[in-house]
Structure 1
Amino acid sequence: MSEVSQEDFDQVHAQVRQWIRTRVVPREREIADTDAIPEDIRQQAKDMGLFGYAIPQEWGGLGLDLAQDVELAMEFGYTSLAVRSMFGTNNGIAGQVLVNFGTDEQKSTWLEKIATGDVVASFALTEPGAGSNPAGLRTKAVRDGDEWVIDGEKCFITNAQLADLFVTFARTRPADANGPGIAVFLVPAGTPGLDVARHDEKMGQQGAWTSNVSFSGVRVPAAALVGGDEDTGYRAAMTSLARGRVHISGLAVGSAQRALDESVRHAAVTTQGGTPIGDFQLVQAHLADMQTGIMAGRALARDAAAKYVSGEDRRIAPSVAKLFCTEMVGRVADTAVQIHGGSGYMREMTVERIYRDVRLLRLYEGTSEIQRLIIGGGLVRQAKKDLT
């Protein structure tokens, strides 16, 4: 149940929408060209509480539930995805690990600072040999007296260069009958042996920094073990990722809506042989397909969020929403470039950036292939259960 009434949320939503459209959209080219979020935009996001909108109010956040989160995600998706990435890990995959699995001491130490944006949290799960499926994790944590010693390599870690805290997943033992043997630790930036590489150069999402992170004999106290339990890690990762998948669905819908809006505007004013191209039936057919995909995606993202909040479905529905919406936005972005013709391939056009930015949505927080396995496997398991 959300801590925020519909009336109060409507005000938050309207404020975020206005901020995105009037403050952020005009700076998109600057963000892309400098590969960085301007400091004044970062400060505005902090002042609005965006670093902690999904953190409960008792820890200084706004306390929005996932259904409300998705509505904001649709707004964040309307502009440079790097802006959402700036505070996405605090509210999402990293922050939610602490909200759902942290001890009282861990929550009181970190959550208020995460909610204000004074601490940026990174989610250190992905490895060169373990991406969408955490079961392949190789980073190790070994108990040594009152400490844990962590060794391993992580890659594509969002906000790593800016992070004050790394929510780090490591294997404490091989998987056995007692559980998967994956724990999660809170590792402050600057801990000896923790090294962050320079940020990656990516196809899109300039300004959203990801980096390799290495752990070489990194020592943390026993109190850094999230939940005080060695088997919390796998469950924490799966829970955070499922929630994140619904958020990404909303983000995809927002990006698709922007691509459509740009395309409709272009079709209305651009002429070919003296006729606006929007009068051509084939262009109208493209726009119709885009609109249909967006409306379906919006309904699906909202439905998955409602099912997550109620507890009805926190596994299959998030994967269905992410699979459909991220594949949909890829098609919409491609069509948007097509409608723009040669100009759509030019760097100064918004649809060119969207085309590159949204390609990542089908990859992170579980690839489309992994979503298909979760959906299909889940349906078959349920059928077998129903038959017994």
Structure 2
Amino acid sequence: MSTVELLPEDERFIVGTVRDFVDRDVKPVVRELEHTNTYPEALIEQMKRLGVFGLAIPDEYGGTPVSTPCYVFITEELARGWMSLAGAMGGHTVVAKLLLHFGTEEQKRRYLPRMATGEVRATMALTEPGGGSDLQAMRTVARKDTGGYLVNGSKTWITNSRRSQLIALLCKTDPDAEPAHMGISILLVEHGPGLTVSRDLPKLGYKGVESCELVFEDHRAGPDAVLGGVEGRGFAQMMKGLETGRLQVAARALGVARAALEDSLAYAQEREAFGKPIWQHESIGNYLADMATSLSAARQLTLHAAREADAGRRVDMEAGMAKLFASETAMRIALDAVRIHGGYGYSTEFDVERYFRDAPLMIVGEGTNEIQRNVIVRQLIARGGLD
């Protein structure tokens, strides 16, 4: 029995629908879109129709809610076709979860129904040019006045920021707070005067979907812009949101790794050397065996974290482990796929070189793997060990 078959029938149907979309509509066009760095407008529209942007939103707000394991499988399928498509819905899902867990009822009703259809797409803005993973050192400040908040600062590596209508902005509402995280809030901001999307960052991979720099210069946010209505809770809120984000990145890594393995299996059966298919040569066969084993382990680790999340447990350690292991696995599998394909693996006429360029994003995205290890060891100590 495949792991997908452990899902309820309605969720298996959704995963199958996304799989068919990837095989029918994504794979035939992905190479050209990716190499020309073209925004996949038509594919995003199809994802909206499939309900992909409403997967974390309850029925009452017009969503198509699924379990976290189902969400992992859907993300994996999208990334198997093109990792950028999974990126287009990753931050959006985190913002939906943030609204659901922490938003006021008015905030939920304002945004979630339109987010469910994809009419409003959301992203989160955490990273700053000088800050990287040190979120508490951020310099973006929102100062309260009679009209709401005035926001000043800059963010970078913000995916989907040019085409998203809603930005969950991590910023300081009290720059003098001690400890620093007590002065951090999430502001729900929209595009308008004082917010400039300054440039699309040039990237090794992760093409088609934009990652930008944002500059706030006296950008006005309303008096009700703070997520949940209470200042100073943003850091804890975002740490909870990142549990979902890290599971999503782990699932993207599974998709890239699976695509690399599937291409390698097919090629190793077609390609002959010294009178037999190359998979029969022990060196190549060993690569394939190790690739399949490590991918299976990464998937089980990710699904374990997903099930724990659905059980209502804190999963910062489990999601960190999944993200760490799955991303390192994807990088290794992508490199081994290049080895198996030989010279063709280095050619832009094969998809293997794209997997090799896309895989590193999951190592550094959503908190670098070095940061994941810090999270994991702190939780190990706090919990008194693994059990």
TM-score under structure 1 normalisation? 0.94
Which residue of 2 is the match for residue 124 of structure 1?
A: 125
Q: Match of 1:312, SS?
A: coil
**1:337 Cα deviation from its structure 2 partner:** 0.4
Which residue of 2 is the match for residue 339 of structure 1?
A: 340
**1:85 Cα deviation from its structure 2 partner:** 1.9
Higher alpha-carbon deviation: 105-114 or 247-256: 247-256
**1:86 Cα deviation from its structure 2 partner:** 2.1
Q: Would the alpha carbon gap of residues 315 and 220 (structure 1) be closer, same or farther in structure 2, given more than 3 Å must change?
A: same
Higher alpha-carbon deviation: 323-332 or 235-244: 235-244
Which residue of 2 is the match for residue 236 of structure 1?
A: 237
**1:180 Cα deviation from its structure 2 partner:** 2.1
Query: Contact 2:91–2:245 at 8 Å: present in 1 too?
Result: no
Which residue of 1 is the match for residue 266 of structure 2?
A: 265
Name the CA distance, whole Å, in 1 between partners of 2:326 and 2:276: 33
Query: Contact 1:243–1:314 at 8 Å: present in 2 too?
Result: no
Higher alpha-carbon deviation: 245-254 or 349-358: 245-254
Residue 47 (1) aligns with residue 49 (2): yes
**1:314 Cα deviation from its structure 2 partner:** 1.7
**1:226 Cα deviation from its structure 2 partner:** 1.1
**1:221 Cα deviation from its structure 2 partner:** 1.5
Which residue of 1 is the match for residue 140 of structure 2?
A: 139
Name the CA distance, whole Å, in 2 between partners of 1:196 and 1:177: 31
Residue 21 (1) aligns with residue 23 (2): yes
Residue 187 (1) aligns with residue 176 (2): no
Query: Contact 1:37–1:82 at 8 Å: present in 2 too?
Result: no
Paired residues in the alignment total 379
Query: Contact 1:249–1:325 at 8 Å: present in 2 too?
Result: yes
State how 1:104-119 maps to structure 2 within 5 Å: 104-119=105-120
Q: Match of 1:186, SS?
A: strand
Which residue of 2 is the match for residue 366 of structure 1?
A: 367
Structure 1 residue identity aligned to 2:323: K
Q: Match of 2:199, SS?
A: coil
Which residue of 2 is the match for residue 305 of structure 1?
A: 306
Name the CA distance, whole Å, in 1 between partners of 2:144 and 2:15: 46
* 1:334-354, Cα deviation, whole Å (9 max, x unpaired): 100011111111111111000
Higher alpha-carbon deviation: 53-62 or 125-134: 125-134
Name the CA distance, whole Å, in 1 between partners of 2:333 and 2:180: 46
Structure 2: gaps spanning 5 or more residues = 1-6
Query: Contact 2:141–2:153 at 8 Å: present in 1 too?
Result: yes
* 1:216-262, Cα deviation, whole Å (9 max, x unpaired): 01111211111111122101210111111112212211211110110
Q: Match of 1:78, SS?
A: helix
CA RMSD of aligned residues (A): 1.7
* 1:46-70, Cα deviation, whole Å (9 max, x unpaired): 1111111121221111111312211
* 1:63-91, Cα deviation, whole Å (9 max, x unpaired): 11312211212212211111122222222
* 1:14-47, Cα deviation, whole Å (9 max, x unpaired): 1111111111111111221231243322221111
Name the CA distance, whole Å, in 2 between partners of 1:211 and 1:312: 34
Structure 2 residue identity aligned to 1:44: Q
State how 1:129-208 maps to structure 2 within 5 Å: 129-173=130-174, 174-176=176-178, 180-189=182-191, 191-208=192-209
Structure 1 residue identity aligned to 2:120: V
Name the CA distance, whole Å, in 1 between partners of 2:313 and 2:90: 25
Structure 1 residue identity aligned to 2:21: W
Name the CA distance, whole Å, in 2 between partners of 1:378 and 1:319: 10
Query: Contact 1:81–1:208 at 8 Å: present in 2 too?
Result: no
Query: Contact 1:267–1:277 at 8 Å: present in 2 too?
Result: yes
Structure 1 residue identity aligned to 2:306: A
State how 1:271-290 maps to structure 2 within 5 Å: 271-290=272-291
Name the CA distance, whole Å, in 1 between partners of 2:146 and 2:362: 42
Structure 1: gaps spanning 5 or more residues = none
Query: Contact 2:54–2:63 at 8 Å: present in 1 too?
Result: yes
Structure 2 residue identity aligned to 1:28: V
Which residue of 2 is the match for residue 325 of structure 1?
A: 326
Match of 1:64 among 58, 66, 78: 66
Name the CA distance, whole Å, in 1 between partners of 2:105 and 2:130: 33
Structure 2 residue identity aligned to 1:229: V
Match of 2:77 among 75, 78, 81: 75
**1:330 Cα deviation from its structure 2 partner:** 0.6
**1:274 Cα deviation from its structure 2 partner:** 3.1
Which residue of 2 is the match for residue 253 of structure 1?
A: 254
Name the CA distance, whole Å, in 1 between partners of 2:214 and 2:330: 30
Q: Match of 2:81, SS?
A: coil
